[in-house]
C-alpha cells in the first residue's frame, strides 16, 4: 500500500513536470510586468480634468521660472521621451547641471522622486526645480503674484481647487496631477505578455530571457515600471556625486542613484544619472564589464560574460519596451 | 572547604544558573525575513513590531538580490551592511523606545520596532 501511494505520487510529480515543460513560454506568468489598472494618486489630490488642465498650463508655462524662459517642459520635453536629450541638464543662466534630466514618464508609480529620492511625493518634487537656483530660479511669492494677476489662471485654479486660491500648495498639486497622467502606453512587450506571440521579435524574446537570467537586470529593473525603486552604485567612471548618500548617510548609498524606469528607454538617451553613455549598447557593455569604479559597487553587479548576440538581444528587448506615442495636446497659456 | 560554605557556594551557583536560564528564556529572537522587498514575520508582512528590551531581531534575506538593513534612530543606530540570499544578521535591542528600521537599497522596506 505504502509503496503504491509513493509510486502514485512520483507519477503525479512527473506528470506535473511534464506539463510545465511543454507549456514553457506561454504558460509563464509575467503579469507583474503589466501596468496596474489604476494610477496611484493621493486622497487629498485626486485626478480631475480641471486639475490636469491647470497642471498642464503650469507645466508648459515658462513664466514659472525666474527668467520667464524655462518651463518644466523645457527639460521634460514630451518630444524627447519627457527628457531633454542632453547628458546632463541645462538650468538657469545656461548652467550645465551635474545630473541628467530624468524622464517623468510613470513618476506616478514611484514612491520617491529625484535621482536621490529626496522627495516623497510628486507634489513635493514639483516645487523643487522651480525654486532651485540652478534650475528655474523662481521666487515663490513672485510667482504667486504673477499668476494671480492673470484672470485665466485665477479661473483655472478656482475650477481645479475651489476656494483654495493660488498658493505654493495648489501649484504643486496641479503640477503633480498633470505629471501623474504622463504614463507609458502599451509596448510590443506588453502585447507579447498578453499572449500576442509575434508582438515582440524572436531576438527581443531572447533578450527578455537574458534580462531575467544571465544579465541579472531584473534584480533591480523589476515590475511593471522596470524598477525596484531602489538605490544602487553602478560603478561609473569619474563620478564623485554622493547620490543617495546625501539623503541617508549609509555606506552602501555613496554614489548610489535611483533605478530608473526602462519604459520608453530607447527614447531617453543619453543614459545613467550623469549621461555617461550615448547608446543602450554602451550601457549593456558597462554592465557586462561589471562596472568600472569598484570601491562602493552595488553587490548585485558582477561581470556577466555575455556573448555579442546576448548583448544585441538585450538591446532589442529594451527597444521593445517603447510604447506608441501618447498624443500630447498643448494648452493655450493665459495672457490676461 | 567547609561543608557549609561549599553548600552555600553550590546554592549560589544554582541560583545564578537559574537566573541565567530565565534571562535566556526571556530574551527572544525573532526572525524577520526580507521577502519580495518587504519585512515578513512568520509569513506575514509587517510594518510594525513590538518586542521586549533585550530581544534580538534576526534579519534574514530570502530575496535573490542584496538588502542592507539599517537604522538611524537615536535609540539604536546600526548598519548591517549588505548581505545576499540565505544570510542573516542580528541586532539586539537593549533600550526601551521606538526604532525605525529601513533597507538602504529599498527604502519602501520600512518597519517600526517598539521596544518595551
Ligand atoms: Cu532591500
Mean pLDDT of A310-329: 96
Distance A128 CA to ligand 1 centre (A): 27
B3 in any annotated domain: no
Mean pLDDT of A275-297: 98
B9 in any annotated domain: no
Q: Which domain holds residue B70?
A: 27-115
At A84 the pLDDT is 97
Is A128's pLDDT higher than 90?
Answer: yes
CATH number of the structural domain spanning residue B109: 2.60.40.420
Residues A250, B107: C-beta atoms closer than 8 Å: no
Distance A153 CA to ligand 1 centre (A): 44
Cβ–Cβ contact B64 with A under 8 A:
yes
Distance B103 CA to ligand 1 centre (A): 5
How near does any CA of chain B get to the CA of A225, in Å?
15
B75 in any annotated domain: yes
What's the rounded Cα separation, in Å, for the pair A133 and A66? 9
Distance A107 CA to ligand 1 centre (A): 21
Residues B84, A299: C-beta atoms closer than 8 Å: yes
Is the separation of the CB atoms in A104 and A129 below 8 Å?
no
A–B interface: beta-carbon pairs under 8 A: 47
Is the separation of the CB atoms in A114 and A101 below 8 Å?
no
B71 in any annotated domain: yes
B60 in any annotated domain: yes
**Tens digits of residue pLDDT in A104-120:** 999 999 999 999 999 99
In the predicted model, what is the mean pLDDT of chain A?
Answer: 92
Count CA atoms closer than 13 A to B39's CA, side-chain side.
Answer: 25
Q: Give contacts of A111 with chain B, Cβ < 8 Å.
A: 107-108
Residues A228, B106: C-beta atoms closer than 8 Å: yes
For the record, the C-alpha cell of A239 comes out as 563620478
At A37 the pLDDT is 86
B6 in any annotated domain: no
Residues A112, B81: C-beta atoms closer than 8 Å: no
B94 in any annotated domain: yes
Confidence of residue A158 (pLDDT cuts 50, 70, 90): very high
State whether the Cα torsion A276-A280-A283-A289 is positive or negative. Answer: negative
Distance B69 CA to ligand 1 centre (A): 7
Q: Give contacts of B84 with chain A, Cβ < 8 Å.
A: 299
DSSP-derived secondary structure for A86-109? SSS-B-GGGPBPSS-----TTGGG
Q: Provide the ipTM.
A: 0.87
How near does any CA of chain B get to the CA of A216, in Å?
9
At A72 the pLDDT is 97
Q: Which residues of chain B have pLDDT under 50?
A: 1, 3, 12-23
**Tens digits of residue pLDDT in A194-234:** 999 999 999 999 999 999 999 999 999 999 999 999 999 99
Cβ–Cβ contact B82 with A under 8 A:
yes
Q: Give contacts of B64 with chain A, Cβ < 8 Å.
A: 219
Residues A219, B65: C-beta atoms closer than 8 Å: yes
**Tens digits of residue pLDDT in A227-255:** 999 999 999 999 999 999 999 999 999 99
Is A73's pLDDT higher than 90?
Answer: yes
At B5 the pLDDT is 54
**Tens digits of residue pLDDT in A78-96:** 999 999 999 999 999 999 9
pTM: 0.87
Longest distance between any two alpha carbons in chain A, whole Å: 90
At A179 the pLDDT is 98
At A325 the pLDDT is 87
B15 in any annotated domain: no
Cβ–Cβ contact B78 with A under 8 A:
no
Confidence of residue A16 (pLDDT cuts 50, 70, 90): very low
Is A181's pLDDT higher than 80?
Answer: yes
Is A24's pLDDT higher than 50?
Answer: no
Is A26's pLDDT higher than 80?
Answer: no
Cβ–Cβ contact B106 with A under 8 A:
yes
Higher pLDDT, A169 or A12: A169
Using CB atoms, pick whichever of A112, A220, A299 lies closest to residue B82: A299
Percent of chain A's residues with pLDDT above 70: 92
At A182 the pLDDT is 97
Which of the residues of A are catalytic?
Answer: 135
What's the rounded Cα separation, in Å, for the pair A209 and A316? 12
Cβ–Cβ contact A247 with B under 8 A:
no
Number of domains in chain B: 1
Is A263's pLDDT higher than 70?
Answer: yes
At B11 the pLDDT is 54
Instruction: Check residue A259 and report its DSSP letter.
Output: P
Q: Give contacts of A121 with chain B, Cβ < 8 Å.
A: none
Is A10's pLDDT higher than 60?
Answer: no
Amino acid at each position: 500500500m505504502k509503496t503504491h501511494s509513493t509510486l502514485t505520487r512520483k507519477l503525479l510529480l512527473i506528470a506535473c513536470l511534464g506539463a510545465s515543460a511543454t507549456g514553457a513560454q506561454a504558460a509563464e506568468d509575467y503579469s507583474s510586468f503589466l501596468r496596474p489598472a489604476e494610477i496611484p494618486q493621493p486622497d487629498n489630490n485626486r485626478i480631475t480634468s480641471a486639475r490636469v488642465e491647470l497642471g498642464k498650463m503650469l507645466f508648459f508655462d515658462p513664466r514659472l521660472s525666474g527668467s520667464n524662459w524655462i518651463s518644466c517642459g523645457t527639460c521634460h520635453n514630451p518630444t524627447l521621451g519627457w527628457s531633454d536629450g542632453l547628458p546632463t541638464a541645462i538650468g538657469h543662466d545656461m548652467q550645465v547641471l551635474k545630473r541628467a534630466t530624468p524622464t517623468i514618464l510613470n513618476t506616478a508609480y514611484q514612491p520617491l522622486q529625484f535621482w536621490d529620492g529626496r522627495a516623497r511625493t510628486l507634489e513635493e518634487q514639483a516645487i523643487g526645480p522651480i525654486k532651485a537656483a540652478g534650475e528655474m530660479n523662481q521666487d515663490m511669492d513672485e510667482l504667486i503674484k504673477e499668476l494671480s494677476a492673470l484672470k485665466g489662471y485665477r479661473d483655472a485654479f478656482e475650477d481645479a481647487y475651489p476656494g483654495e486660491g493660488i498658493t505654493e500648495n495648489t501649484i504643486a498639486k496641479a503640477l503633480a496631477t498633470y505629471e501623474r497622467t504622463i504614463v507609458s502606453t502599451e509596448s510590443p512587450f506588453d502585447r507579447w505578455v498578453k499572449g500576442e506571440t509575434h508582438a515582440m521579435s524572436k531576438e527581443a524574446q531572447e533578450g527578455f530571457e537574458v534580462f531575467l537570467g544571465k544579465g541579472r537586470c531584473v534584480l533591480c529593473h523589476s515590475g511593471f515600471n522596470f524598477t525596484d525603486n531602489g538605490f544602487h552604485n553602478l560603478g561609473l567612471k569619474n563620478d564623485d556625486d554622493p547620490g543617495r548618500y546625501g539623503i541617508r548617510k549609509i555606506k552602501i548609498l555613496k554614489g548610489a542613484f535611483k533605478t530608473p524606469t526602462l519604459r520608453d528607454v530607447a527614447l531617453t538617451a543619453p543614459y545613467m544619472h550623469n549621461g555617461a553613455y550615448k547608446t543602450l549598447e554602451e550601457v549593456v557593455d558597462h554592465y557586462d564589464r561589471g562596472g568600472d569604479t569598484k570601491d562602493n559597487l552595488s553587490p548585485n553587479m558582477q561581470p556577466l560574460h555575455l556573448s555579442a548576440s546576448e548583448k544585441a538581444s538585450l538591446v532589442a528587448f529594451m527597444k521593445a519596451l517603447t510604447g506608441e506615442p501618447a498624443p500630447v495636446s498643448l494648452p493655450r497659456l493665459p495672457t490676461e | 572547604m567547609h561543608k557549609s560554605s561549599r553548600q552555600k557556594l553550590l546554592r549560589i551557583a544554582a541560583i545564578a544558573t537559574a537566573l541565567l536560564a530565565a534571562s535566556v528564556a526571556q530574551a527572544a529572537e525573532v526572525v524577520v525575513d526580507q521577502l519580495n522587498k518587504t519585512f515578513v514575520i512568520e509569513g506575514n508582512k509587517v510594518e510594525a513590531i513590538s518586542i521586549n528590551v533585550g530581544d534580538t531581531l534576526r534579519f534574514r534575506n530570502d530575496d535573490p538580490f542584496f538588502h542592507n538593513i539599517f537604522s538611524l534612530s537615536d535609540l539604536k543606530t546600526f548598519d548591517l551592511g549588505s548581505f545576499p540570499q540565505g544570510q542573516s544578521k542580528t541586532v539586539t535591542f537593549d533600550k526601551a523606545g521606538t526604532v525605525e528600521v529601513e533597507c538602504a537599497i529599498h527604502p519602501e522596506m520600512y518597519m517600526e520596532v517598539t521596544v518595551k
